[in-house]
Structure 1
Amino acid sequence: MLTLFFVPLIILGTGAVSHPLLLFALYITSGFGMAGVGMGVMHDAIHGSYSKKPLVNKYLGYTMNLIGANSSVWRIQHNVLHHTYTNIDQGDDDINAPFFLRFSPNAKRYWIHRFQHLYIWLFYGLSTVSWITAKDFIRANRYRKLGFFNKKGEFRKAIWKIGGWKLFYYSYALVLPLIMVPLPMWMIVLAFLSMHFVTGISISMVFQTAHVVSNTTFPKPDDKGVIAHDWTLHQLASTSNYAPNNRFFSWLIGGLNFQVEHHLFPNICHVHYRKLSKIVSKTAMEYNVPYLVKRTFLMALFDHVKMLRQLGRG
């Protein structure tokens, strides 16, 4: 995945590309590699499950920074908020969306949500563009207010690091091709955006089809902020697997089709999820607790669209 991401950008950086079709082909190929790095390398590394050696996880976690995002912010958003408060409105940052999107029945509904199942794909595609520009800064500031980055000088240092990594990313992914590739600037920028559109669509579909589907639950805290079920039952009820028998697809997306196992055991590397799923499903059946799974990814995707439509209407 790292090769798939970096090699096309290296070719673009040499200035050897002069045809528009090759320009777009290389950027789009890099986009698939970027998605693969995010799902199959960075994700495990930041969870501390890629390797038994913390130093390996630390440095492979920086691949998040190399694709334009930030590992420190992601660790809070994903490891802490998403995995602790899965599908809880205002708690899980994966479903905390701008006003024109509604991912939870507990979120406020506006008239525009009636059409979100149609226009959602544009915003999924643009999601990583937002990520590499403003979202990390906005979230870092919000997380500081939640009690993170609270040591003296820690927030300022984090902002400088976020900005520095992003400048480095833009320098080799966009600025160098702008200098070296003998094609119009607008065309190179458009090809760069197409790379991110591919990445955004890929990552969004993989993650959202595991939680925002019709048979998952969206628990609402009581007046004291307490959720009725314990954490394990909460994860089982708010998370769904898909395509458990598709080995190639599972490899392609870093085992994230086994989201149930990932949420129960985030410190275990994804290469073990397939075997682990047999134990988890059997245990869930034994204790008569939910174990949600869709037979194929397309079934999960269609159900996600159905859920978006439902959320837009009531």
Structure 2
Amino acid sequence: MLLIYIIPYVIMMSGLLTNTWAVFGMWIIMGVAMAGIGFSIMHDANHGAYSKNQNVNKYLGYLINIVGGSAINWKIQHNVLHHTYTNVDGMDEDIDPGKLMRLSPHRKRYKLHRIQHIYGWGLYGLMTFLWITTKDFRQLYRYKKMGLTKAQNIKMPAQLTKLIIAKVVYYTIFLVLPLIFLTIAWWQVLLFFIAMHFTAGLILGCVFQPAHVMPSAKYPLPDKEGNLENDWAVHQLYTTTNFSPKSKILGWYVGGLNYQIEHHLFPTICHVHYKKISKIVKETAEEFGLPYHSQPNFFAAIALHARMLRDLGKYDVV
């Protein structure tokens, strides 16, 4: 997966390709690989699940930085907030894209949301643009106010410095150097850079969102004391959906995230074990009368997610 990301870049920078469309193809391949690195390497590593050696996990987790993100911010948003408070409005940032989209039935519905099932895919494509521009900085300060950086023993000045350096290095390698050395026009380099990120963002959105924003998913709210109705493990079953459990190729590319239920129940176990674990999880869920949501293929999951986007945009209660 790393080679799929690095080789097209090396080919372009070496001057082996000069045809504009061929260069464009290299950028698109890099976009596909960006998402793949996030799915199949960085994700497990930042959960401490890629290797028994935590130094291996630590350094492979930093691969998100070479695709424009921040390992520290990601671990807080994903490991702490998303995995602890899945589909809980106000806590799970994965269902809080702002006012442009309504991903929770507990959010205010605006007229614009009526067509979010149409324009939402374009917004998914902008996901990684937020990483490389303002999101990581805004997140870092928000997490500081929430006390999450202190809880994770993160020193703000040092982390802010690392974040700035990481962004400078990323822009230098993947935008400034191509602008200098590629033989195509500067505006084409910029456009292709945008296309790479749009490709990665769209793929990321199409894999992560159908796991939770689905007609079958629950959106529980805490009571006055701050307690949720179900315990953590049962909560994951009510809020999560699998897809394409039989696809080995897709499973490889998305790092086992087609088994989202197993991932949410066992986030520190490497994804290569999810398929075997899934049989036990499904049987146990059925034994105790609990849901086990799974779609037979990726396209069925996407279709249901699109329907959920439409319903959330049209109705106050879904």
Structure 1 residue runs without a partner (length 5+):
none
Displacement of 1:150 in angstroms is 3.2
Q: What whole-Å deviation, never above 9, does each CA across 1:155-184 have from its counterpart, x for those lacking one? A: 121111111111111111111111001111
After superposing on structure 2, the runs of 4+ consecutive aligned residues of structure 1 that deviate more than 6 Å are: none
Matched residue, 2:160:
159
SS at 2:294's partner residue? strand
Matched residue, 2:118:
118
Map 1:4-83 → 2, pairs under 5 A: 4-83=4-83
Aligned sequence identity (%): 46
Matched residue, 1:186:
187
Q: Distance in 1 between matches of 2:258 and 2:75?
A: 20
Matched residue, 1:204:
205
Displacement of 1:149 in angstroms is 2.5
Displacement of 1:6 in angstroms is 1.0
TM normalised by structure 2 equals 0.96
Matched residue, 1:129:
129
Is 1:87 the counterpart of 2:87 in the alignment?
yes
Q: Distance in 2 between matches of 1:196 and 1:149?
A: 28
Is 1:289 the counterpart of 2:297 in the alignment?
no
Structure 2 residue runs without a partner (length 5+):
none
Taking structure 1 as reference, are residues 153 and 4 closer, same or farther at Cα in structure 2, changes over 3 Å only? closer
The AA in structure 2 aligned to 1:92 is: D
Displacement of 1:53 in angstroms is 0.5
Q: What whole-Å deviation, never above 9, does each CA across 1:168-215 have from its counterpart, x for those lacking one? A: 111111111110011111101001111111100111110001000000
Displacement of 1:224 in angstroms is 2.4
How many residue pairs align between the two structures? 314
Displacement of 1:153 in angstroms is 8.4
Q: Distance in 2 between matches of 1:106 and 1:291?
A: 24
> For structure 1, which segment, 288-297 or 10-19, has the greater mean C-alpha deviation from structure 2 after superposition?
10-19
Q: Distance in 1 between matches of 2:227 and 2:154?
A: 33
Q: What whole-Å deviation, never above 9, does each CA across 1:96-154 have from its counterpart, x for those lacking one? A: 11101110001111111111001011111111111111111111110001102238981
Map 1:245-284 → 2, pairs under 5 A: 245-284=246-285
Q: Distance in 1 between matches of 2:230 and 2:148?
A: 27
**Matched-pair contact (CA < 8 Å) for 1:17–1:182:** no
SS at 1:280's partner residue? helix
Q: Distance in 1 between matches of 2:307 and 2:35?
A: 25
The AA in structure 1 aligned to 2:295 is: K
Q: Distance in 1 between matches of 2:250 and 2:176?
A: 33
Displacement of 1:228 in angstroms is 1.0
SS at 1:279's partner residue? helix
SS at 1:241's partner residue? strand
Q: Distance in 2 between matches of 1:138 and 1:9?
A: 30
Q: What whole-Å deviation, never above 9, does each CA across 1:11-38 have from its counterpart, x for those lacking one? A: 2222443221011100000111111100
TM normalised by structure 1 equals 0.98
Matched residue, 2:230:
229
Matched residue, 2:99:
99
The AA in structure 2 aligned to 1:268 is: I
SS at 1:62's partner residue? helix
SS at 1:204's partner residue? helix
